[in-house]
């Protein structure tokens, strides 16, 4: 009798295609002998165009993905569903089924400051640092990260790499929404709201790491702000501790020409060479931006196996420059896409980045054939997983990987017609086309509705807090 739920769900799918199929399905039900051989599963996704992003980059038309617990246990054509008896069936309704996207660099908590002082020169010192000094608290970090996590979840981001103050409070929000987070505690040499100096924030990071080290969704780590804003001896401590705890280090690197020139003058080294001299460049290191890097820096980053976060929208909005991300991708570096914080790039979904990544690299190279959509989707998925050294379990839809899956609907006018799904995703889709989001086998967004938190409540909390932000901002 337990066969019925699957039969019913399959017939629903078939009914849309042909009434004959439904009839065949119903007629086949007396053959209960085969039923016992069906394999139990938690979820079957049917009727979608599956972009596997596996090593062959296989696309399966009318494909099926089977999930049990938090893992993908099968990926195949439409007949695959027949082998399973699932608790839940999701009809993708001809949508694009893809791996969850990975945002390799952000500061989710900063959503509370979004749209403030957008185009002011030297904004970091004039607005961001003074605002943070007066406004950042555990409450702000939680609230901003909650809001940011909702935006990411609804935009198809399933994993983020975050760096901020009071990072443990951010982690609580990320976990509540049900996303994966590589959450790195910010460390900087100035006094901040969460520590009087780097030593205090390093201690804060260690306590956070010890508490969350074995968490299923949260990977805690160190977030030294940048090579020029953290003292060398503190970077050495971070290097030693990241080895000891085997945790990630995320850092802004080679973000401005000024930073590059400063290190050349002061140390006779590029920022990348300087960090390597401290021993920080290794498989735990995620370099955000990496705009001002030489060819030998790129070779060194590859040799040291570091990850790179390419934040195109934030980089061009701040007029900093276009990173050699195309060369890094083609040279085989571990490179993914990032949004940077919502005061820099303003949005937190990765779909919104993809079109800019494709188009700006074409413009910079004066060649429309470079950075085709497939490369961009690679960076958004498996590339991001490689950048965080989790490509053995994330970034593609393959048997044995963690069940982080996104369905992008194709019923909206902007999504039709579809001759090339990668082109549609990169050039015409937007975050609002994301229909279903699954993280670690749990459905957190379904039919475009967040299931893990009341979105109206989150908005009201933000609106209340923003009144306080406006009062402080008016005094700067």
| Chain residues in the site for Zn ion (CB under 5 A) | 340
Please, what is the minimum distance in Å from the beta carbon of residue 252 to Zn ion?
5
Please, what is the minimum distance in Å from the beta carbon of residue 332 to Zn ion?
25
- Report the residue number, 14 or 256, with the smaller CB distance to Zn ion: 256
Residue ranges in 104-192 assigned as alpha helix (H): 123, 129-135, 138-154, 167-177
Distance (Å, whole) CA 404 – CA 444: 10
- Report the residue number, 81 or 230, with the smaller CB distance to Zn ion: 230
Main-chain phi, psi angles of 285, to 5 degrees: -95, 130
Token pair of 420 as six digits = 């090339």
Instruction: Tell me the Cα Rg of the chain.
Output: 23
Distance (Å, whole) CA 252 – CA 306: 13
Q: What is the DSSP letter of 192?
A: B
Please, what is the minimum distance in Å from the beta carbon of residue 402 to Zn ion?
26
- Report the residue number, 132 or 340, with the smaller CB distance to Zn ion: 340
What is the SS3 assignment for 446?
A: strand
Is the CB of residue 138 less than 8 Å from the CB of residue 174? Answer: no
Q: Using alpha carbons, select from 199, 200, 246 the residue that is nearest to residue 220.
A: 246
- Report the residue number, 340 or 404, with the smaller CB distance to Zn ion: 340
- Report the residue number, 340 or 409, with the smaller CB distance to Zn ion: 340
Please, what is the minimum distance in Å from the beta carbon of residue 416 to Zn ion?
36
Please, what is the minimum distance in Å from the beta carbon of residue 280 to Zn ion?
17
Is the CB of residue 452 less than 8 Å from the CB of residue 459? Answer: no
Please, what is the minimum distance in Å from the beta carbon of residue 247 to Zn ion?
19
Please, what is the minimum distance in Å from the beta carbon of residue 163 to Zn ion?
7
Helix 295-304 and helix 271-278, axial crossing angle in degrees, nearest 10: 30
- Report the residue number, 63 or 144, with the smaller CB distance to Zn ion: 144
Main-chain phi, psi angles of 412, to 5 degrees: -70, 150
Q: Using alpha carbons, select from 231, 294, 287, 285 the residue that is nearest to residue 261.
A: 294
Q: Using alpha carbons, select from 199, 309, 191, 325 the residue that is nearest to residue 249.
A: 309
User: What sign has the CA pseudo-torsion 284, 218, 340, 101?
Assistant: positive
* Secondary structure element (H or E) that encloses residue 316, with its range: helix 312-317
User: Which bin fits 293, alpha (ψ -120 to 50), beta or left (φ > 0)?
Assistant: beta
The owner of tokens 């910010």 is: 186
Q: Using alpha carbons, select from 19, 95, 66, 35 the residue that is nearest to residue 11.
A: 19
Please, what is the minimum distance in Å from the beta carbon of residue 337 to Zn ion?
13
- Report the residue number, 194 or 409, with the smaller CB distance to Zn ion: 194
Please, what is the minimum distance in Å from the beta carbon of residue 428 to Zn ion?
28
Please, what is the minimum distance in Å from the beta carbon of residue 171 to Zn ion?
17
Q: Let me know the angle formed at the C-alpha of 314 by 469 and 387, rounded to the nearest 5 degrees.
A: 115
- Report the residue number, 340 or 349, with the smaller CB distance to Zn ion: 340
- Report the residue number, 14 or 106, with the smaller CB distance to Zn ion: 106
- Report the residue number, 168 or 340, with the smaller CB distance to Zn ion: 340
Q: Let me know the angle formed at the C-alpha of 252 by 248 and 258, rounded to the nearest 5 degrees.
A: 155
Half-sphere exposure of 71 (CA within 13 A, CB side): 8
Please, what is the minimum distance in Å from the beta carbon of residue 120 to Zn ion?
17
User: What sign has the CA pseudo-torsion 23, 26, 32, 37?
Assistant: positive
- Report the residue number, 286 or 301, with the smaller CB distance to Zn ion: 286
Residue nearest to Zn ion (CB): 340
């Amino acid at each position: 009798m337990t066969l019925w739920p699957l039969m019913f769900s399959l017939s629903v799918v078939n009914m849309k295609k042909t009434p004959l199929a439904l009839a065949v399905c119903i007629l086949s039900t007396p053959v209960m002998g085969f039923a016992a051989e069906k394999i139990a599963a938690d979820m079957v996704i049917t009727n979608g165009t599956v972009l596997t992003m596996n090593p062959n980059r296989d696309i399966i038309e009318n494909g099926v993905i089977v999930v049990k617990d938090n893992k993908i246990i099968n990926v195949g054509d439409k007949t695959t569903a027949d082998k399973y008896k699932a608790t839940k069936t999701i009809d993708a309704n001809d949508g694009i089924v893809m791996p969850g996207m990975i945002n390799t660099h952000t500061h989710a908590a900063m959503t509370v400051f979004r749209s403030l002082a957008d185009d002011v020169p030297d904004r970091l010192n004039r607005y961001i640092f003074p605002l943070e000094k007066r406004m950042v608290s555990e409450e702000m970090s939680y609230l901003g990260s909650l809001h940011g996590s909702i935006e990411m979840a609804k935009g198809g981001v399933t994993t983020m790499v975050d760096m901020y103050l009071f990072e443990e409070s951010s982690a609580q929000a990320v976990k509540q929404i049900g996303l994966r987070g590589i959450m790195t505690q910010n460390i900087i040499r100035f006094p901040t709201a969460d520590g009087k100096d780097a030593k205090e924030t390093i201690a804060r990071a260690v306590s956070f790491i010890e508490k969350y080290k074995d968490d299923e969704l949260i990977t805690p780590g160190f977030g030294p702000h940048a090579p020029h804003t953290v003292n060398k001896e503190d970077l050495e401590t971070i290097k030693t501790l990241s080895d000891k705890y085997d945790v990630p280090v995320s850092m802004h690197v080679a973000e401005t020409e000024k930073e590059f020139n400063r290190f050349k003058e002061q140390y006779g080294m590029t920022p990348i060479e300087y960090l390597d001299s401290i021993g920080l460049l290794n498989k735990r290191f995620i370099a955000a931006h990496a705009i001002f890097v030489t060819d030998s820096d790129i070779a060194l980053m590859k040799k040291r196996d570091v990850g790179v976060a390419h934040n195109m929208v934030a980089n061009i909005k701040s007029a900093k420059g276009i990173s050699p991300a195309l060369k890094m991708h083609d040279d085989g570096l571990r490179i993914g896409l990032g949004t940077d914080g919502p005061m820099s790039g303003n949005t937190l979904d990765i779909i919104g980045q993809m079109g800019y990544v494709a188009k700006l690299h074409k413009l910079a190279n004066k060649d429309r054939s470079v950075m085709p959509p497939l490369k961009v989707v690679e960076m958004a998925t498996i590339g991001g997983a490689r950048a965080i050294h989790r490509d053995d379990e994330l970034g593609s839809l393959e048997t044995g990987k963690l069940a982080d899956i996104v369905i992008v609907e194709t019923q909206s006018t902007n999504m039709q017609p579809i001759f090339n799904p990668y082109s549609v995703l990169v050039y015409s889709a937007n975050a609002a086309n994301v229909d279903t989001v699954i993280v670690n086998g749990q459905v957190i967004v379904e039919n475009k509705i967040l299931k893990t938190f009341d979105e109206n409540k989150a908005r009201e909390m933000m609106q209340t807090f923003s009144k306080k932000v406006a009062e402080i901002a008016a005094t700067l």
